[in-house]
Structure 1
């Protein structure tokens, strides 16, 4: 069954619940692997540092760059190449702005905790970035979407490699998903990397 057909069979609440369970599973996986990989939880927590200048330069500015990249894609690439099967449109048009805030915050925390804070820390930048891209399986048959996810994944991985600070990549990831989620909510278009 095609993804778009499966989506039509789910209610808005079931779709949100699925997203919530997926992200909570990623967060639990990140915590579980961290318990094995790190000697102490405090070692893992060293990757989370509040440094407003670093968060601005390596979180906010890259987030804005990724958003501008998405806007450029939206303006120059035919819409059929940016269609993810309707999941993002369905999710974000059914959410209130406050739900978008909470969901995209959870997505940024869960995905970056796992892919940068655990996987990149243990298996390296390239492998973690590729795993992040391939986890977004629904983009595999959409070359433009998949390539953009790969580029964003390597960009976020590089930011983490430079800073070693999960708050920078969580900030960038959150800004991208939240602002593009709001765009979808109000315009019904574009995609995000959740």
Structure 2
């Protein structure tokens, strides 16, 4: 039996084009699972019940906040896309690869998974400790594919800060989850159907 030698492990950078569709999705789901676990653990260490954060609020006002914010973000993105060259907003083709050939139900599922997992970590756990500004710095940093260009980096920071703000205004995690879901879902649909035309 051959012995495992840790010195033979080689690490190299892989572009999104080198990943199969299955590997790309696996990577996305695993990173979201890790994000959720970290968020849940962080809440427990804060002495808070993370499952209470997901309790549904009474009334639908959180939806107005969430979807209203999502519409504002999409309007800004539409305006920016008219004047900003496409290469200045390049994410390395990740969003294109994730959404371009997915059925609508899968775009919705991906958007929901990402919204719940990331909002649990960033708004539910980190913002409680660091506040919305530093949470938004971390949120922008974790979306590393945008860091090559200042416009998408600034947009991601602004979106994160806005998500933190609506969380503070509504006192429910469901408002930023609704906004995050709507933004990702609509952008995913735009990518999906723009390429079919």
Corresponding residue of 1:20: 29
Q: Is the 8 A contact 1:26 1:110 kept in 2?
A: yes
Q: Residues of 1 paired with 2:34 and 2:53: CA distance?
A: 23
2:189 maps to 1:182? yes
Q: With structure 1 as the length reference, what TM-score do the two structures score? A: 0.88
Query: What RMSD over aligned residues (CA atoms) do the two structures have, in Å?
Result: 2.1
2:197 maps to 1:160? no
TM-superposed CA distance for 1:126, in Å, is 1.4
Corresponding residue of 1:36: 45
Q: Residues of 1 paired with 2:18 and 2:111: CA distance?
A: 24
Corresponding residue of 1:192: none
Q: Residues of 2 paired with 1:51 and 1:68: CA distance?
A: 29
- 2:90 partner SS: coil
Q: Is the 8 A contact 1:59 1:170 kept in 2?
A: yes
TM-superposed CA distance for 1:180, in Å, is 0.6
Query: Would you identify which runs of 4 or more consecutive aligned residues in structure 1 move more than 4 Å?
Result: none
- 2:100 partner SS: helix
Q: Which has the larger radius of gyration?
A: 2
2:148 maps to 1:148? no
What are the Cα deviations for residues 60-107 of structure 1, in whole angstroms up to 9, with x where unaligned? 111111111111111221111111110100110132111111111000
TM-superposed CA distance for 1:53, in Å, is 3.4
What are the Cα deviations for residues 9-54 of structure 1, in whole angstroms up to 9, with x where unaligned? 1111111111111111100111111121125x2x751464324432
TM-superposed CA distance for 1:57, in Å, is 2.5
Pairing partner for 2:20 from 8, 11, 36: 11
- 2:44 partner SS: helix
For structure 2, the residue ranges without an aligned partner over 5 or more in a row are 1-10
Q: With structure 2 as the length reference, what TM-score do the two structures score? A: 0.87
2:140 maps to 1:133? yes
- 1:124 partner SS: helix
Q: Residues of 2 paired with 1:26 and 1:152: CA distance?
A: 18
